[in-house]
Amino acid sequence: MRIFGSIRVLCTLALLASASVLTAQTPPSADPAITSLSVMGVVSDFKPDTRQVIVTTAAGSQVTVTLSDRTVFMRIPPGEKTKDKFVKIAPTDFAAGDSVFARGRMSEDRKNLPALEFYVMSKGDIAEKRDRERADWKTRGIAGTISALNADAKEITVDARTAEGPKPIVIAASGETKFDATLPIQFDSAMRSRARLRS
């Protein structure tokens, strides 16, 4: 098994991008989704005849990922972060719009990568997970605007949206309460956890 120190690359990328002096021999990538050993983005095109995948990052950069018989293909179920939960797939089990993470050796111009590993999170899986989360929120959650905070009593008052209009509801927080500004499905969180395991 090939081991890449991708986590070290990810950690130092921000420092490299902010450097004020750059040499012509080592052109940097301003896109954090592209490193010397990987690319993360969405499949925007696939050319079966050449086995090349065009991966577009969140910043709009495009990298041509070349697949081969040596490439390992894995599907990541949404929310999973450990390798034992990843599922081996066929080389054709992905489609345009799927989120992918490819490992290999990036070209110097940061535009081509022969993939040794190709991880996929399908847009269908992501949509299904979001639908389940929305359904769960409808039955077990409330939505509204915070109208008051009581730090001493550890209480939060929320003006919840109801059919009759805003209704104040007091939520008791505890040491086990988890706070999150958003509820994203982050593909990169799974890959960063994977990178920590392999670094």
Model confidence at 7, pLDDT cuts 50, 70, 90, reads very low
pTM above 0.95, yes or no: no
Q: Are 51 and 67 in contact (CB under 8 A)?
A: yes
Domains of the chain: 6-123+192-198 (2.40.50.140), 127-172 (no CATH)
Model confidence at 20, pLDDT cuts 50, 70, 90, reads very low
Taking CA atoms, 9 is separated from 36, 84, 91, 107, 179, in Å, by: 8, 24, 27, 15, 30
Q: Is the pLDDT of residue 137 over 70?
A: no
| Two tokens, residue 199 | 């670094």
Give 57-91 pLDDT, tens digit per residue.
999 999 999 999 999 999 988 777 788 889 999 99
Model confidence at 158, pLDDT cuts 50, 70, 90, reads confident
Residue 110 per-residue DSSP state: S
